[in-house]
Structure 1
Amino acid sequence: MRSLVLEDFGRLTLHHEEEPHPPAGCVAVAVAYSGICGTDIHGYTGSNGRRRSGQVMGHEASGVVLSTAADVVGVSIGDRVVINPLVGCGACGACLRGQAQQCPDQSVIGVTPSSPGAYADVVIVPAGNLVALPAALSLRLAALVEPLAVAVHAIELGRPQRGEVVAVLGGGPIGQSVVLALSVLEPQARVLISEPNADRRRLCTDLGALPFDPGSTGAGAPTDLVIDAVGHPATYAAALSTTRRGSRTVVIGLHSQQVTIDAFALTTGERSLHGSYCYTPTDLRRAVDVLTTRPQQAATLVSTVVSPEESAATFDWLASPAPPAGKVLICFTDTNEPVAAHR
C-alpha cells in the first residue's frame, strides 16, 4: 500500500509497504479521501511541535471497511464510514461520560506519532471509532465530517440562541465549517465573519455570513457569541472588545500558546471564555447530519482534490503565503470502483 511519511520537517515522501492487518478490536479502513488539516501543515513545517519525523499523519478521513479483527461485531466489510481519530482510554470518568476529548490518556490517530494516520491507502481504527454514513452522503463530502464536528462542538459549547448575533473570527476551513453548521443548528442567528483573505471571506459570505471588521467603530451592534477559529492575541482582544456584557466566547483556534487578555473586560462585563477541543461521538453524528442537509453548500468548502503522488508538492503550496480558500483533500481510492474487501 501507499503511505505518505513525514521524513523530516518540510519533506513528505510516498512509501510503498505491506498492508497492515487489524489487531483485536480494530478494523482496517480503505481510505477514500483524507483532508489536509491546518495542524498537519504546522506539523509539516515543524512549527507546532505536535508531529515527529517518520510518522504518517492524517486524521480527517472517509472510507470503506476493508477487513476486521475476528472479535469485532457490528461492523461489516464494505461499510461506508468516517473515522473518529480521537481514542480515549475507555475507563476514566471522561470516557465513561462520552467525553474522550477530556481524557488525560487520549491519543489521536494521525497526530500521536505511535498511531499511524489516514495519509495512506489503509488505516487501522478501533471498531468503536467508526461513524456510519448514510447512502445519500458521498465519501468525498464525508471527509469534511471531522473538521465540521470541531465546529459543531464549539457551537454546542457557545449555546447560540434564536436571533442572536454570532461573530466568527477566522474564515479558514474551521471558520467556514462553523458558518455552515450554524446555518443548520441555529438558522435564525445573525452570523458575522471576520477574515482578511478576500477569497475565504467570500466563501463564508456565500454561506450566509455577513463580513465585519472587529477593529472598526462601525462594526455594528455588540455580539452575543464569538467563536474564535484563530486563537491569536488579536482575536482574543477582538472577542472582548466586540461583545456585549454577559456574552460568550468559545476559542477553537490554536495559533498562540500564550496570550494576554483584558481581565477587567472579562470580569466586569461578566463575559465567559471557553476553550473547545475536538468533539464527542454525538458531535460527529451531528456533523454527518449537517452535511446531509446542506450537501451543495458543503461542496463549496472543498477547493481541490489531489492524488497521493501530488501530495508533497501540495503541502509545499499549503505552507506558502497563498494557500487555497477552502479544504484540500487527498484521494486514495477511486470511489467509482468497488473496494476489494478481504480478511
Structure 2
Amino acid sequence: MTAPVATARIALWEGGTGVGVSSVPVPRLKPGEVLVEVRLATVCGCVRDAVRERRLGSLPSVLGHEGVGTVVGVGRGAEALGTDGVSLAPGMRVVWGRDVGCGTCGACTAGQGAACPDSRELGHQPMTDAWVLSGSLASHLVLPRGAGVAVVPAGVPDAVASPSGCALTVAAAAIDRAGPLAGRRVVVLGAGLIGLAALAMAIEAGAASTTVVEPRGKRRRRALRFGADAALDCDARVPACDVIIDAAGGADTFARVLDSLAAGGTAVVAGTRSQVPDATVDLERLSRDGISLLGLGRPHGRHLAQAVAFIASTHALRPWADIVSAPRGLDGVVEAIAHSGGTIARVAIAPRG
C-alpha cells in the first residue's frame, strides 16, 4: 500500500558528534513491511557509545532502536505478524526488537531469525533508498519483514514499554540462558537498565537471593528499590552464588566475582561492550567445578514477547517510569545522547512533540 503519510522527521548522524534533524519522504511499503508512527523513543547506551566512539557503519545513519509506536500502515502482499503470531494492523501500539533478520533465509522462515546470517540492527544501518527509515529516533520507522514486533497491552505507559525492545529483551535472553532460577543465589553485575531488568526477572523467577554489584552509589540505591537483597560496590566481598549475570560489569569485576560462583554454577555474559578488555578465567576451575560460562548471542523473537509480557504483568510493582526522563523533542537528541547513561537510565524523545 502507499504510505499514509508523506514525510518523516529523522535524527540523522553524519559522523563525529554531529546529529541533525532532517525531513525525508516516507517510502512506499513493500509486502510485509510495517510503518510505525513513533510515540516515544528512548536513548540507550548503544546509541551513546556508537556516536562517541564512531562505531557505526557507513554514514549517514538514522539513530536509535528503542521505542514504542502506533502501526499506521502495512505493505500489501504478505501478512505482517508479531512475535506472538498476531496479525499486525493499523492502530496497534507496538514495540520492536533491535535485530532484524532478512525474512527469507532458512533460519528466518523457520522462526529462528536470531540465527540469520544477514541480520541487521535498527539504528545502525546506513540510510539508503532500500531502508530510509531505519532508526527509532524519528517520527516514523519502517520495520522490514523479519523484524520482531510485539503488541503492547493497554495500561502499560509508553515510557515503560519503550526499552522493551533492547534492554528488557537482552535481560529476558540472559535469564533464559541462565536456566531455572528458583531457589538459586543470583548475582547481577551492573545496575543499568539491563541489570535492573535481569534483577527484577530473577526475583520474579523465585531466586533465593539477589545481589547487585555496581560501582555507582545512586545505581546501587536504585537496585535496592527494585528489590535486590544487597547492592555492593565492586570492591566488596561477594557472597557465594549459583548464577552470575554480567550486565556490563566490566572485565575485572567479572573475573573477581567468578571466584564466588559455586560448583555447578552458571555465568552468563550479557552486556559487556566491545571495548571492555579480556577477563582472565581459571580454565582448570571451570573444568574441575563444572562451571558453565555462556555468551548471550542475539536475542530471539520470543525474548521480545517475554519482555513485553513481563513488563505488562509487573510494571506496577517497581519504579520503572522513574528511570525514564520526561520526553523532549527530536531537536533535543544531541543533549539526550550526552546525558544518557547517567542517573536516569533512559532519556526519552517524543519525535512528534
Q: Same fold (TM over 0.5)?
A: yes
3-state SS of paired residue (1:98): coil
* 1:50 aligned counterpart, secondary structure: coil
TM-score by length of 2: 0.85
State the number of aligned residues: 327
Q: Which residue of 2 aligns with 1:143?
A: 162
1:313 aligns with 2:338: no
Name the counterpart of 2:251.
233
Counterpart in 2 of 1:199?
218
Amino acid at match of 1:265: R
Whether 1:157 and 2:177 are equivalent positions in the alignment is yes
Q: Distance in 2 between matches of 1:125 and 1:277?
A: 22
Deviations 1:134-182, CA, capped at 9 Å, x for gaps: 2222333210211211101100100142221100001112111211222
8 A contact 1:29–1:67 mirrored in 2 = yes
TM-score of the pair, normalised by structure 1? 0.87
Q: Which runs of 5+ in 1 are unaligned?
A: 335-343
Measured in 2, the distance between the counterparts of 1:246 and 1:45 equals 40
Match of 2:153 among 134, 138, 156: 134
Mapped partners of 1:128, 1:101: distance in 2: 10
1:1-343 matches, within 5 Å, as: 1-46=8-53, 49-73=55-79, 74-92=87-105, 94-114=107-127, 115=131, 116-126=134-144, 129=147, 130-146=149-165, 147-184=167-204, 186-209=205-228, 210-213=230-233, 215-217=235-237, 219-220=238-239, 222-230=240-248, 232-255=250-273, 256=275, 258-262=277-281, 263-296=283-316, 297=318, 298-318=320-340, 323-333=342-352
> SS where residue 163 of structure 1 aligns?
coil
Relative to structure 1, is the Cα distance of residues 267 and 243 closer, same or farther in structure 2, using a 3 angstrom cutoff?
A: same
Unaligned runs of 5+ in 2: 1-7, 80-86
Equivalent position SS for 2:108: helix
CA distance in 2, matches of 1:324, 1:22: 40
Offset from partner CA, 1:55-98 (integer Å, 9 cap, x none): 00111121001122122433221111112232223455543553
Once residues 326 and 282 of structure 1 are traced to their aligned partners in structure 2, the CA distance between those partners, rounded to angstroms, is: 24
Identity within the alignment, %: 27
Deviations 1:31-75, CA, capped at 9 Å, x for gaps: 11112111111111125x234431001111210011221224332
Provide closer, same or farther for how the CA distance between residues 55 and 123 of structure 1 changes in structure 2, counting only shifts above 3 A.
same
Change (3 A) 1:332 1:271: same
Residue 316 (structure 1) shift: 2.3
Q: Give the counterpart letter for 1:119 in structure 2.
A: L
Q: 1:300 to 1:163 in 2, by over 3 A?
A: farther
> How many Å apart are 1:236 and its aligned residue?
2.8
Two-structure CA RMSD over aligned residues (Å): 2.2
Residues in 2 aligned to 1:24 and 1:97: alpha-carbon distance in whole angstroms: 19
Q: How far apart in 1 are the matches of 2:337 and 2:17? A: 8
Q: Are 1:229 and 1:253, in contact at CA under 8 Å, matched by a contact in 2?
A: yes
